[in-house]
Structure formats: structure tokens, C-alpha cells
Amino acid sequence: MRFLLIEDNLKLAQAVVERLQLDGHAVDHADTLDTAEACISVADYDLILLDIMLPDGDGRDFLVQQRRAKKRTPVIVITARSAVSDRVGLLDLGADDYITKPFDFSELEARCRAVLRRQGGEANNAKTFSNTELDSTAGELRFGAQTLTLRNRELRLLEVFYNAPGQVFSKSYLMDRLFSLSDEASENAIEVYVGRLRKRLEGSDAKIETVRGLGYRLVVA
């Protein structure tokens, strides 16, 4: 998954970015609303983490603009305001969730999972395809009697395929899902990760198929 963090507290931002990257997510950081707009103009995000008080404006105005533009990217607001009226106001403006400062990183991760799960219409974090099950919370791939623990970027890449079985994903799209704007990586990295996932899926009824000149898709073996 690819996240955009809009937060001007650089110490907090660095800690959040590092934690989410450990989970295998690609995370871009913007410390102003102008920078956030620039990021959104060149990349698509699965989730936005939005601070309220920013050097060049109010995060609530940014949220309202996003919703008026019919942009449905989920937004979790990071706020120091704990009053019920403040939290209700954020939800009414179009926020999908909120978390109050200071917060525990495990709670932030759980709220991210919950929002993404709701966005995908899922009841839980486990997705099935053919005789396999991908558990995003546990980071495990299961089929038959096997339970395989996935590395973080393996998990995030496999999530893309499990979210849309049969759909063809180009290397450039997968690059966009797996790496942030600051990461130095080439499309060869996607080939490496796809190769790893193919080995993980050996013995199951699922496989990642190459569609020549277009990309990859998850199909029944």
C-alpha cells in the first residue's frame, strides 16, 4: 500500500514513516499542504494521514477540498484535539477515522488496517483466492497444511494481486504501490519480488502469470 503522511512535526513524521515502512508500505511525507498537493498530483495513494495544524493552512480545509473534488482516498486525521465535538466535526467533514496525539504506533497501524479493510468492503484482514488465504495482519500465506510467513514487501505486493484477482498490473503500477518517491528502485525490483512470490505459491492452486508486454496477474494454476 502507498500512504501519504501530511505532518509538519519532523520528529513524529520520521517515526511514523519508519514504522509504516517496516510494515512494507511505501510512504511519502509532506510537511506542508503545498507539498501534499504536489505529491497527489504525481501519485495515487491508498491512504492519507493528515495533521490539522500545518504551516501553510488548516488540514480540515484540505480534507474538504478533497471530498468536494470527489476524491475518495481514505483519510485518517491526526489531531491533538480530544473533545467529542472536534472528533465528530472531523468525521462530518469527510474523515474516515482519527487518532489523537500522543498515540501508540500499534493503534495507528490497526486504524490503518481497519480503514483500508472498510474501503475494500472486507470484514476482516484475510483474503482468499482458490485454495489459498492471505492474512495481512499475521503476514501469512496459507494453503493446504502450509503456513508461510511473508516479508513485508512480499506481503504488500501480494495484497495488490489478492485485492483484484485476474486483473493485469503493469510493472510501473506495482512500482507505484511498493516504493515511495524517495526510494531508489527500478522495475527490476518488481521482477525480483514477483519471482519470490511465485516460489511462495508453489504447491498451491494460485500463480502469478506474466502477460507479455503488459504485466502480471493472479490466476488459478
Q: Nearest-CA neighbor of 163 among 57, 46, 40, 72?
A: 46
The reported pLDDT for the residue numbered 81 is 80
The reported pLDDT for the residue numbered 92 is 95
Question: Dihedral of the CA atoms 131, 134, 139, 140 (nearest 10)?
Answer: -10
Residue 122 clears pLDDT 80, i.e. is over it: no
The reported pLDDT for the residue numbered 118 is 86
Q: What is the mean pLDDT of the chain?
A: 93
Same domain, 108 and 61: yes
Same domain, 215 and 177: yes
Same domain, 9 and 59: yes
CA angle 141, 116, 84 (to 5 degrees): 140
Same domain, 109 and 131: no
Is residue 63 within 8 Å of 71, Cβ to Cβ?
A: no
Q: What is the pLDDT of residues 8-17, one digit of tens each?
A: 999 999 999 9
Determine the average pLDDT of the residues in 88-104: 93
pTM for the whole structure: 0.85
Residue 78 clears pLDDT 80, i.e. is over it: yes
Q: How many CA atoms lie within 13 A of 107 on its CB side?
A: 10
Same domain, 93 and 137: no
Same domain, 93 and 152: no
Please tell me the total count of domains within the chain. 2
Is residue 145 within 8 Å of 204, Cβ to Cβ?
A: no
92, 119, 146 - which closes a domain: 119
Domain that holds residue 186: 126-220
With cut-offs at 50, 70 and 90, classify the pLDDT of residue 108.
very high
The reported pLDDT for the residue numbered 185 is 86
Q: What is the pLDDT of residues 33-59, one digit of tens each?
A: 999 999 999 999 999 999 999 999 999
Same domain, 79 and 173: no
Same domain, 75 and 147: no
60, 90, 119 - which closes a domain: 119
Same domain, 199 and 179: yes
Same domain, 82 and 163: no
Same domain, 93 and 133: no
Residue 117 clears pLDDT 90, i.e. is over it: no
119, 143, 170 - which closes a domain: 119
Q: What CATH number has the domain bearing residue 180?
A: 1.10.10.10
Q: What CATH number has the domain bearing residue 32?
A: 3.40.50.2300
Same domain, 201 and 152: yes
